[in-house]
């Protein structure tokens, strides 16, 4: 009985020494000895993103926030544009591959598959507006919460990152030997999906007007006649004149 209490105290001391980032909220609640304690006794065990994935994710987030400072566009907007580009490349690859298929049944299968993909896109990606997704991201950032995709999509990001590294040589070799553009387009889809997974897992800055927009508004104001007022920078709709990085 005494040894059991000592083990229990050592366990709790090790738990208390564990560091959990409160602003990050990046822990998984685990029951503490569920056979002897109630379900309300929880601890937070920190879950770290793997090293290379964390470095790439932080680097991508800095790039997205720098892009937002310049243009006022968030990583959500970038993710939607990358998705649209991936869709264009996908259907362009299918259009190139379709004439090469000789069997009628294979052509019907390709057409049905592309139609199914288009239907799924209309029910998922094309159905949600950019403004709604950005509003949700702004609300999450205002509460001090990090993007849940940082941890949730980590296995998927690592899988696509590994695939994008390993498939460079095989697909590049196939393209150099056979000049089949489908191989090149296939790798571009893998690379775009990898970038998309990193971009969509980032957190945006608070809503702001980009520096480029402010600069263009200043140029437009200088070109106006003297009796006209310069073009105001939109600041009354909750947008700040410049982006500020969250501490």
Q: How many domains does the chain have?
A: 1
Strands (E), the chain: 27-31, 42-46
CA atoms within 13 A on the CB side of 119: 6
For residue 45, is it left (φ>0), alpha (ψ between -120 and 50) or beta? beta
Angstrom distance (rounded) from CA 194 to CA 153: 11
DSSP string, 188-242: HHHHHHHHHHHHHTS-PPSSB--HHHHHHHHHHHHHS-TTSPPPPP--TTS-BSS
Which residues pair with residue 42 across a beta bridge?
31
Has residue 29 been placed in a domain? no
- Six-digit token pair at 189? 């889809």
Q: Please say whether the beta carbons of 185 and 96 come within 8 A.
A: yes
State mean pLDDT over 11-15. 51
Q: How do the residues of the chain divide into helix, strand and coil, expressed in percent and rounded to 5?
A: 65, 5, 30
Q: Comparing 12-26, 113-127, 135-149, which segment has the lowest mean pLDDT?
A: 12-26
Residue range(s) defining the domain that contains residue 152: 51-200
Q: Could you say which DSSP state residue 100 is in?
A: G
How does pLDDT run across 91-119, given as a tens digit for each residue? 888 887 777 777 787 778 878 877 887 77
Q: Measured between alpha carbons, how far is 166 from 101 in angstroms, rounded to an integer?
A: 28
Distances 67 to 78, 157, 164 between C-alpha atoms, Å: 9, 22, 24
Residue 160: closest CA among 86, 104, 247: 86
In this prediction, residue 177 carries a pLDDT of 86
Residue 123 domain-assigned (yes or no): yes
In the predicted model, is pLDDT for residue 208 greater than 60?
Answer: yes
pLDDT confidence bin for 163, thresholds 50/70/90: very high
Higher per-residue pLDDT: 65 or 232: 65
Task: Determine the Cα–Cα distance for residues 206 and 201; give it in Å rounded to an integer.
Answer: 16
How confident is the model at residue 19, as a pLDDT? 44
- If pLDDT is split at 50, 70 and 90, which confidence band does 36 have? very low
Q: Quick one: DSSP state of residue 30?
A: E
CA atoms within 13 A on the CB side of 145: 11
pLDDT, average across residues 123-138: 80
pLDDT band at 50 (very low <50, low <70, confident <90, very high): low
Among 12-21, 29-38, 192-201, the least confident range: 29-38
In this structure, is residue 85 part of a structural domain? yes
Residue 21 domain-assigned?
no
pTM: 0.67
Q: Residue 199 above 90 pLDDT?
A: yes
The share of the chain scoring above pLDDT 90, in percent, equals: 27
pLDDT surpassing 90 at residue 66: yes
State residue 74's pLDDT score.
93
């Amino acid at each position: 009985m005494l040894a059991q209490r000592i083990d229990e105290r050592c366990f709790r001391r090790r738990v208390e020494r564990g560091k959990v980032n409160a602003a990050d909220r990046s822990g998984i609640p685990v029951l503490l000895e569920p056979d002897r304690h109630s379900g309300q006794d929880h601890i937070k065990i920190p879950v770290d993103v793997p090293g290379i994935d964390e470095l790439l994710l932080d680097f991508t987030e800095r790039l997205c926030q720098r892009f937002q400072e310049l243009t006022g566009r968030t990583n959500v907007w970038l993710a939607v544009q990358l998705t649209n580009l991936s869709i264009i490349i996908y259907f362009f690859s299918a259009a190139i591959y379709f004439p090469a298929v000789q069997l009628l049944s294979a052509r019907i299968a390709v057409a049905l598959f592309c139609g199914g993909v288009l239907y799924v896109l209309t029910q998922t990606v094309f159905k949600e507006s950019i403004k709604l997704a950005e509003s949700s991201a702004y609300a999450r950032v205002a509460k001090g919460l990090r993007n849940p995709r940082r941890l949730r999509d980590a296995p998927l990001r690592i899988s696509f990152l590994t695939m994008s590294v390993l498939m460079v040589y095989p697909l590049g070799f196939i393209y150099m030997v056979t000049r089949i553009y489908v191989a090149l387009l296939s790798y571009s889809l893998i690379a775009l999906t990898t970038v998309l997974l990193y971009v969509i897992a980032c957190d945006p800055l608070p809503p702001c007007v980009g520096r480029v927009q402010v600069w263009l508004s200043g140029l437009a104001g200088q070109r106006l006649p003297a009796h006209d007022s310069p073009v105001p920078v939109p600041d009354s709709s909750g947008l700040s004149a410049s982006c500020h990085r969250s501490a």
